[in-house]
Structure 1
Amino acid sequence: MDLRRIIIGISGASGAAYGIAALKLARAAGVETHLVVSRSALLTLKQELGLQKADLEGQADVIHPVADIGASIASGSFRTSGMLVAPCSVKTMSEIATGVTSSLMSRAADVVLKERRRLVLMVRETPLHLGHLETMSRLTQMGAIIMPPVPAFYAKPQSLEEVVTHSAARALDLFDIDTGMVKRWTGLSDAMGGNTG
């Protein structure tokens, strides 16, 4: 059986907690994780979570410097299940859509697309103008999945951490990684506490 392996990118959009949660959930599920963090994301990690670059050590099986274009994840011959960018900034999304591979983040995503592997982008921006929407449409046509981290209120979250964990776990579902952390919808009758008929 092939080792399960996923690339997780954290870009500079607000919502760094999604990337950290996805990283922890994937590792706990026995998936080998390869992490790449943009320069802007380091600022966001510090601002939102109080994390420094050194705090990421040990969080992933391998951490790749964002400037290392020669890293293993920059080649299609390095087999992975795909890549999750959580959160995904508009800048990163736009680079991927146009094939601009100026960093390891966009290069790895480009490789995932060309190899027809799964690319999931947790785009964090609102409201969206036409350019954003057209870029998302183009990426969808290229094979990517656009998955904004929208809270699932049916799960009745009791904390912000639960909201983040559920969204990250749902993103990993798209790679067939079952973290055991998703409150699955079982139908309206169960949600209402009985038969609705």
Structure 2
Amino acid sequence: MTRRNVTVAVTGAGGTGVAKAMLAALQRDDRVGHIDLLVSVDGRKLVAYAFETGEDTDSVLRPLEATSPKVRSLDPADMSGAVTSGSCPSDAMLILPCAAGVLGRIAHGHTESLVERAADVMLKQRRQLVLCLREAPLNLIHLRNMVAAPRREPPCTP
């Protein structure tokens, strides 16, 4: 059986519980060989405020860090991280939750962070990229960015 390598990125606090559950499931999955974990700088700041979890920063981030040998936690400020290269053996990337600003920057090719650069690599290598936007209600800009991201097309004009 071929094992898949997955990159998991967390870009906000709203949905941290779901990100923890997904990371735990991936660690248990025998089909997953390696997980690169990216928690954005803003994601770390938002978690610190504990908008959703009611926990302090350390107890929220601890479960997201390496809890098995499969997981490698990458520094979100290191733009030279392995995931910034097309030669990185990542088969899929999941951004959970994906902040609306991150979605917009990915959709338009602006790579200001390691998460955005890794997503850019996934798109240009035509690898699987899953963006789990956590916004409600959605506005027209969000919808246009959702359509533009996988195709890397300019947004529609009214």
TM-score by length of 1: 0.67
Pairwise CA distance, 1:43 = 3.0
Counterparts of 1:133 and 1:139, CA distance in 2 = 10
Pairwise CA distance, 1:58 = 2.1
Task: Show the counterpart of 1:114.
Answer: 124
Root-mean-square deviation over aligned CA pairs? 2.0
Task: Show the counterpart of 1:36.
Answer: 38
Which amino acid letter does the alignment assign opposite residue 19 of structure 1? A
**Which has the bigger relative contact order, CA under 8 A and spacing at least 6?**
2
Task: Show the counterpart of 1:57.
Answer: 65
Which runs of 5 or more structure 1 residues have no equivalent in the other structure? 144-197
Counterparts of 2:65 and 2:103, CA distance in 1 = 26
What secondary structure, in the 3-state scheme, does the structure 2 residue paired with 1:132 have? helix
Which runs of 5 or more structure 2 residues have no equivalent in the other structure? 154-158
Matches within 5 A, 1:56-135: 56-59=64-67, 61-135=71-145
Contact 1:96 1:110 in 2 (8 A): yes
Counterparts of 2:22 and 2:61, CA distance in 1 = 18
Single out whichever of 106-115 and 11-20 deviates more from structure 2.
11-20
- Taking only the aligned residue pairs, the percentage that are identical comes to 34
Matches within 5 A, 1:113-192: 113-142=123-152
Which amino acid letter does the alignment assign opposite residue 35 of structure 1? L
Which amino acid letter does the alignment assign opposite residue 6 of structure 2? I
Counterparts of 1:111 and 1:8, CA distance in 2 = 14
Counterparts of 2:150 and 2:118, CA distance in 1 = 17
Task: Show the counterpart of 1:15.
Answer: 15
Distance 1:57 1:139, change over 3 A: closer
Contact 1:84 1:121 in 2 (8 A): yes
Pairwise CA distance, 1:74 = 0.7
Contact 2:78 2:114 in 1 (8 A): yes
Number of equivalences: 143
Which amino acid letter does the alignment assign opposite residue 58 of structure 1? A
Contact 2:12 2:99 in 1 (8 A): yes
Offset from partner CA, 1:57-99 (integer Å, 9 cap, x none): 3236100111111111110001111100000000110111111
What secondary structure, in the 3-state scheme, does the structure 1 residue paired with 2:129 have? strand
Contact 1:72 1:78 in 2 (8 A): yes
What secondary structure, in the 3-state scheme, does the structure 2 residue paired with 1:7 have? strand
Which amino acid letter does the alignment assign opposite residue 123 of structure 1? L
Pairwise CA distance, 1:21 = 1.3
